[in-house]
């Protein structure tokens, strides 16, 4: 299959999966990730991707930078600064506890110091996109609980990025200076923040540019995710997968609930916020892919982290609806 046809097939199938996710009321990232995993499945990979794999991997790296740029666009300093201190405290607890628990569990499973730290960082990230779609659907985005979910998630991403860079630099030695992808990802993220602040998030040019990236470039990031995914490692080492998912879920919930002495929310509200913080997404996958490309984590740990991101992203909307049905006034 020649390059042009391969690119068209990737974009069309990715779009179909996005439409299917929308139809099933799932986050767009779920559709894109499932499409990427499909392309990574050996028969599909051999038929569609293999002859053009080098080009696809390169496009995946460019798409990763585009994804970090879009994440920067979504990170509003104004929203962070105007929120109350309790939001910052919730974000810190919800980031630190899964990070520390993830690090400890991976150390006990025999992973290296660097792999354990990188795994902990990936478990500490929170996704905003999934929460936005759910909160908008139920008209809860402008509530105090909804605003806390969103802003705490943005703070988590910023803290996660800081941890990722610090760990890579101080423990990876010169690796950050030698690896273009890490430096470029950080630059792209802050470029998004600066541009958003300079011309405004809703500027028509910026919206159109983001739409182009979303349709024609971002899918290749998820294809790269799928191509690196090791199906065999998941089947041969189910304990690692169970440990990663369990630690990530419990860590986020525990971290959010531990913020109770500093928050005005009741236990039920914090429990709901904990599930919102549990929703991972593309940024966690970007960190995992960079860590794999720079040989900081193994293929088996990387694959477990990707499944964890997919599972937690799928789980949040389900838990949100269940909790809201039992406590209709919980967001008030």
List, for residues 134-151, the tens digit of each pLDDT value: 777 777 877 888 888 888
pLDDT, tens only, 23-54: 887 878 889 999 999 999 888 888 888 888 88
pLDDT tens-place string over residues 279-321: 887 788 999 998 898 888 999 999 999 999 989 888 888 898 8
Alpha carbon distances (Å) from 267 to 5, 153, 188, 257, 300: 53, 19, 38, 7, 36
- pLDDT of 174 higher than 80: no
Between helix 238-257 and helix 267-277 the angle, nearest 10°, is 140
How do the domains of the chain map onto residue ranges?
60-326
Query: Considering the entire predicted model, what is its pTM?
Result: 0.87
Q: How confident is the model at residue 90 (pLDDT cuts 50, 70, 90)?
A: very high
CATH topology for the 60-326 domain: Na+/H+ antiporter like fold (1.20.1530)
Cα–Cα distance measured from residue 213 to residue 208, given in angstroms and rounded to the nearest whole number? 9
- Say what the pLDDT of residue 80 is: 55
Per-residue pLDDT at 259 exceeds 70: yes
Q: What is the pLDDT of residue 194?
A: 87
Comparing 169 with 178, which gets the higher pLDDT?
Answer: 169
Over residues 248-258, mean pLDDT: 96
């Amino acid at each position: 299959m020649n390059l042009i046809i391969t690119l068209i097939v990737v974009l069309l199938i990715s779009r179909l999966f996005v439409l299917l996710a929308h139809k099933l009321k799932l986050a767009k990232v779920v559709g894109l990730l499932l499409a990427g995993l499909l392309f990574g499945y050996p028969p599909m990979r051999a038929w569609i991707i293999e002859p053009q794999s080098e080009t696809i991997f390169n496009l995946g790296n460019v798409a990763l930078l585009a994804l970090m740029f879009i994440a920067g666009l979504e990170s509003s300093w104004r929203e962070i600064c105007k929120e109350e201190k309790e939001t910052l405290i919730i974000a810190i607890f919800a980031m630190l506890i899964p990070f520390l628990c993830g690090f400890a569990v991976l150390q006990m499973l025999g992973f290296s110091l660097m792999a354990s730290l990188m795994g902990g960082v990936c478990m500490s990230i929170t996704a905003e996109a999934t929460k936005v779609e759910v909160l908008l659907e139920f008209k809860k985005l402008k509530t105090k609980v909804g605003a806390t979910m969103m802003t705490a998630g943005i703070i988590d991403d910023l803290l996660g990025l800081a941890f990722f860079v610090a760990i890579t630099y101080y423990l990876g030695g010169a690796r950050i200076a030698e690896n273009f992808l890490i430096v470029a990802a950080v630059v792209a993220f802050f470029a998004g923040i600066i541009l958003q602040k300079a011309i405004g998030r809703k500027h028509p040019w910026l919206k159109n540019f983001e739409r182009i990236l979303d349709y024609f470039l971002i899918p290749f990031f998820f294809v790269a995710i799928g191509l690196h995914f090791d199906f065999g490692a998941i089947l041969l080492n189910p304990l690692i997968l169970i440990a990663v998912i369990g630690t990530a879920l419990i860590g986020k919930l525990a971290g959010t609930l531990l913020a109770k002495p500093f928050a005005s929310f009741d236990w039920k509200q914090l429990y709901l916020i904990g599930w919102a913080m549990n929703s991972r997404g593309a940024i966690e996958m970007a960190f995992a892919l960079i860590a794999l490309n720079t040989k900081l984590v193994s293929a088996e740990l990387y694959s477990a982290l990707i499944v964890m991101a997919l599972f937690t992203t799928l789980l949040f909307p389900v838990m949100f609806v269940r909790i809201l049905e039992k406590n209709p006034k919980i967001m008030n």
